[in-house]
Structures are given as structure tokens and as C-alpha cells.
Amino acid sequence: MRTPSPPGAPRGEGSAPPSRRPTSRRLATGSQGRYGYLFLTPFVLAFLVGIVAPLLYAAYLSFFQERMVGGTTFVGFDNYARALEDQLLRAGLWRVALFLAIQVPLMLGLALLAALAIDSGLLRWAPLFRIGIFIPYAVPAVVASLMWGYLYGDRFGLVRQIGDGLGVDTPNLLGSSWMLASIGNVVTWEFVGYNMLILYAALRVIPEELYEAAAIDGAGEFRKAWSIKLPALRPALLLASVFSVIGSFQLFNEPNIMQSLAPNVVTTSYTPNMYAYNLAFNGQQFNYSAAVAVILGLVTAVVAFAVQVSGSRKEHAQ
């Protein structure tokens, strides 16, 4: 992710006036470039080994098929053709898309509220709230899912017990109609604090003068939030959205833990990531699994890119 620059900042060298001393400048650029590449090497190496090579290997694997009877053969795009037809993969993609459409706005809305509240200066014990909301992020997803799973449990779970105590018939939170919402709740609980920090950090860099100017113009707190804070938050919100889009498509830990509590609700293909995992490790279908992973990666990239483009377009329109 590029660091978003504040609106109105100079937009790079391209628009700068022509240089006054072209000759010496060109020389300097040349030798700087050489050294620059040298300094880049460690990163480039790590990038190639850690990111490009595994991606290429996964892509390579996806063009083969290994069978228990018949061994390994090159199959071209067969795995991709199969994946595009695969109802289980499609159902999983729709499921995470639905999750994305509902959970992400909800979570970012809550994070925004929390960030604005803490930044408003009207809150007592603001640091306490900040750390309190952030703490769930420090809990590993596996532990968080287990913990919530116990609370959700239909027979002895806390929710059911409270419901029984009040004489209210609580729904089965681990049943098929509630499971996605229950997982959404866990994810929201885990990541509200994280997103709040991103937004809060963006709020802290707004210069005081803007608020002072607004106050002189007679703006109240709400007007300040609406006209100064929200526009300034746009790049940070965009960043958080892109992270959340990626997170949603890669949903794995939470449903995977819930599976042991409700095996008939969370199937092996509940999310695309779980599907890829089960294909590889229960079915030994590493090649098909690689194709599924590549498709999932592409879908994620496309959606994240779309969010980014639409977000920055609005930014330009401002």
C-alpha cells in the first residue's frame, strides 16, 4: 500500500518545473540510480524468494494433475476449467462476498465511531477505551473463536443460559441460519480495535489550525467531524477497507474452529480458503487446490483493486 498523501500536497516530480541545471542533474541521477539498486537488493531478494517464487510455484502446480492411479500429468488449464464450474467453490465465494457486504461496513462503522469518540476529547479515560477496544486484536483468532464458540453453544452456552434465565427463546447461534452472523461477530470483535487505530492515527495528523479556523468560523463539534475529520479520514478508511476485503476473502481460522462445534453447518467448503485447505490436506489434491488458490487470489485482487479505484476516484472528485 502506498502511503496516502494528504490532499493538496505536491504530487511528485512529474509536475515540477523543468530543471535549471540539466547536465549535472542527469549525472547525479545516474550514479544515484546505481547505488539505489544496490540498496534495493536485499528487499528484492526477499521479495523474490518470499513472495514471487511461492506464487509462481503455486501457478506451476496448478497446471498439473496428480492422480492416485496414473501419476502426474500436465493438464493445461483443466484445473481452472473445473474450478470455474465448481459449485462448492462458487457457493464459498458467494458466502464470503455476503460476509464482506455486511460485516465490513458494520465493523468499519463501529471503528469510525470509536475513533471519532476517542479523538473528540470529550471522553474521560480515552486511553483506557483505546486499549480496551484494541485488546481483542491481541487475542489469537483461534482462541477468540473457541471462546465465542463456548458462548454460542446451544446446550450450555452463556447466551442460551441468559436466554433461559430471562425466559427468552434464543436462536441456535451455531445453526445454519446464524453461523455466518456469529462468525461476523467474532471477526468484528477481533478487528474493530485494529481499524480504530488506523483511523485514530489518521485523525491525529490533522493540523490543529484547521480546527481553530473552523471554530472561528463558528463550527461545532459535529460540523468539525463532518467537514474536517471525515474528509481527512478518507485515505485511511480506504486502506482499512482494502485490508478488510482481503481479510474477508481469506476467512479461515474462525469458521475452521467453529467446524468442530458444528460440523454439519461449517462444511469443508464453507469458505474458499477452507475448501483449498481441505482439498490439499484431506484429499491430496494439491494441484487443484493450487488452482483454487490462484482463482481466489485473483478474485481478491480484483475486488480490492475495485474498492481502491472507486475510493480514490471519490478522493479526486473532492
Partner 1 sequence: MAHPRPIHRRTLLSAFSAAALTLAVTACGNDGESGPKGDPADALDTPTTLTFWTWAPNVDKVVARFEKKYPKIKVKVVNAGQSAAQYTKLQTAIKAGTGAPDVAQVEYFALPEFALTKRLVNLKDYGAAELEPKFAASAWSQVSISGGIYGIPQDTGPMAMFYNAEVLRKFGIEPPRTWAEFEAAADKLHRADPDRYITSIDPGDAGFLDSLLWQAGSRPFRQTSDSSVSVDLADNGAQKVAEFWTRLLNKNLVDTAPGWTNEWWQAMSSGKYAMWIIGAWAPGNLASTIPNTAGQWRAAPIPQWNAGDSVSAENGGSANVVTATSKHKEAAVAFATWLNAEAEGTRALSEAGLFPATTALLTDPDFLDTPIEVLGGQKANQVLAQSSEAVKTGWQFLPYQVYANSVFKDTVGQSIGARKPLASGLQAWQERITEFGEQQGFSVSAS
CB of 303 to partner 1, least distance (A): 26
Q: To the nearest whole angstrom, how small is the minimum distance from the Cβ of residue 100 to partner 1?
A: 23
- Contact between 259 and partner 1 (CB under 8 A)? yes
Distance CA 194, CA 131 (A): 10
Stretch that binds partner 1, among 192-200, 211-219, 225-233, 266-274 (CB under 8 A): 266-274
Residue 247 binds partner 1, judged by CB under 8 A: no
Q: From the CB of 212, what's the least distance to partner 1, in Å?
A: 54
Which CB sits closer to partner 1, 93 or 199? Answer: 93
Alpha-carbon gap, residue 272 to 64, rounded angstroms: 20
Q: How far is the CB of 285 from partner 1 (least distance, A)?
A: 7
Counting residues that bind partner 1 (by CB under 8 A) gives 32
Binding mask 155-194 for partner 1 (x = CB under 8 A): xxx------------------x------------------
Piece in contact with partner 1 (CB under 8 A), picked from 2-10, 68-76, 131-139, 203-211: 68-76
Which of 44, 142, 201, 215 forms a contact with partner 1 (CB under 8 A)? 142
Per CB under 8 A, residues contacting partner 1 are 67-70, 142, 150, 153-157, 176, 256-257, 259-265, 267-269, 277-278, 281-285, 288
